[in-house]
Structure 1
Amino acid sequence: MSFVLITGGVRCGKSAFAEQLAAMQSDSVLYAAFGVVTDEEMKSRIDAHKERRPKHWGVWEDTDSLIIPNNIFSGYHVVLVDCLSTWLANRCMQIPESEYKQPFHKECIREEVREWLKCIKQSNQHIIAVSSEVGLGGVAMSPLGRLFQDLLGEVNQLAAEQADEVYAVLSGIPLRLKG
């Protein structure tokens, strides 16, 4: 079992690098995808990911749940989670604007991430997780953007702490940060 976290900016090559790592590990890969078609541009992005990955890989698509049911992932050697930031965006979009500052929502998300990380430690699979890095830019202008940035920073730190290896991808070049 191993856990690899790959982070970097939007469209920097994180997913392609993660797919290469997964393919090097095994032919038995489950691709966990969280993208939601909200418009034509998002549909194109999701389609590009689908076309790029091998057809024999398994796919699990969910918008809300980070924890993949055991009966789905247990038959695979590698689980590629793409990506934590999309999962988190989906979760943040469900929170009513009047409740952004309520600690309950943040704690529920943190707890789900902690539970997911426990599941990873107990699994026999190689886990590769992708996440965007939003900590290099300015502070978001909207309350939802700030909630997302703050939580994603925490999610990425929790994942990086548990990961055996961590990579940052910049301009298509992976840089090993840990492991």
Structure 2
Amino acid sequence: MSLILVTGGVRSGKSRFAEELAQQASESVLYVATGEAWDGEMSARIERHRARRPASWGCVEVGGRLDESLPACSGYDVVLVDCLSTWVSNRLMSVSEEEWRSEAITREVLTDAQEWLAAVAAGSSPGQTVIAVTSEVGLGGVAMNRLGRWFADVLGDVNQMAARQADTVYAVLAGIPWRIKG
């Protein structure tokens, strides 16, 4: 099983590029959606992503743990996870303000990411490709509030773990993909 990581800034074109990679690789694609409709804007964003995907693709929505999607992945040539940053965001947004920056919750999220990456590496489907999309937080300034700083710290760690394991990493800037690993 191979892992491709696609990173970039918000609205950089990383999801569209990842979808193109998946479509070029196979018609047998499972889309793992991590977005949750917290408000009307997020609902519209999710709808735009749905409308862009081929109707033939499978789809599974995950909430808490990424490895919840693993049973649905068998039988697909390509698994597209969109996206790790939204998954981390959802995990942290579900925490009360009193628990922000909790060491225990940080460890829990990082452990979940490590377990998912280990399962991807162990892969039950030889030849399967996993494409994971994530936002790059390392190019921006330091967030103005505790939640933003916690998000950047946790996502930065998740991104580094995924990039270390990935066979190929792309950075997408202004819709232009750059292969930076592999």
Task: Report the 3-state secondary structure (helix = DSSP H, G, I; strand = E; otherwise coil) of the residue aligned with 1:131.
Answer: strand
Matched, 1:133 2:110: no
Task: Report the 3-state secondary structure (helix = DSSP H, G, I; strand = E; otherwise coil) of the residue aligned with 1:10.
Answer: coil
Which residue of the partner structure matches residue 41 of structure 1?
41
Task: Report the 3-state secondary structure (helix = DSSP H, G, I; strand = E; otherwise coil) of the residue aligned with 2:6.
Answer: strand
State the Cα deviation string for residues 19-71 of structure 1 (Å, max 9, x = none).
01101111110000011112221111111100001000000012222113443
Superposed CA RMSD: 1.0
Matched, 1:17 2:17: yes
Report the Cα distance in structure 2 between the residues aligned to 1:80 and 1:25, rounded to whole angstroms: 11
**Closer, same or farther in 2 for the Cα pair 1:36/1:69, shift >3 Å?**
closer
* TM-score, structure 1 normalization: 0.97
- Name stretches of at least 5 consecutive residues in structure 1 with no aligned partner: none
**For the Cα contact (< 8 Å) 2:34–2:63, is it kept in 1?**
yes
State the Cα deviation string for residues 122-166 of structure 1 (Å, max 9, x = none).
112200000001111111111111110000100000000000000
- Over the matched positions of the two proteins, sequence identity in percent amounts to 54
Which residue of the partner structure matches residue 84 of structure 1?
84
Which residue of the partner structure matches residue 171 of structure 1?
174
Which residue of the partner structure matches residue 63 of structure 1?
63
Report the Cα distance in structure 1 between the residues aligned to 2:71 and 2:146, rounded to whole angstroms: 38
**For the Cα contact (< 8 Å) 2:26–2:78, is it kept in 1?**
yes
Which residue of the partner structure matches residue 106 of structure 1?
106
Letter in 2 for 1:109: V
Which residue of the partner structure matches residue 26 of structure 2?
26
Moved over 4 A (4+): none
Shift of 1:98: 1.4
Report the Cα distance in structure 2 between the residues aligned to 1:131 and 1:113, rounded to whole angstroms: 13
Letter in 2 for 1:91: R
Report the Cα distance in structure 2 between the residues aligned to 1:71 and 1:171, rounded to whole angstroms: 35
* TM-score, structure 2 normalization: 0.95
Task: Report the 3-state secondary structure (helix = DSSP H, G, I; strand = E; otherwise coil) of the residue aligned with 1:67.
Answer: helix
- Name stretches of at least 5 consecutive residues in structure 2 with no aligned partner: none
Letter in 1 for 2:82: D
Shift of 1:13: 0.4
- Pick which of 64-73 and 52-61 moved more: 64-73
Number of corresponding residues: 179
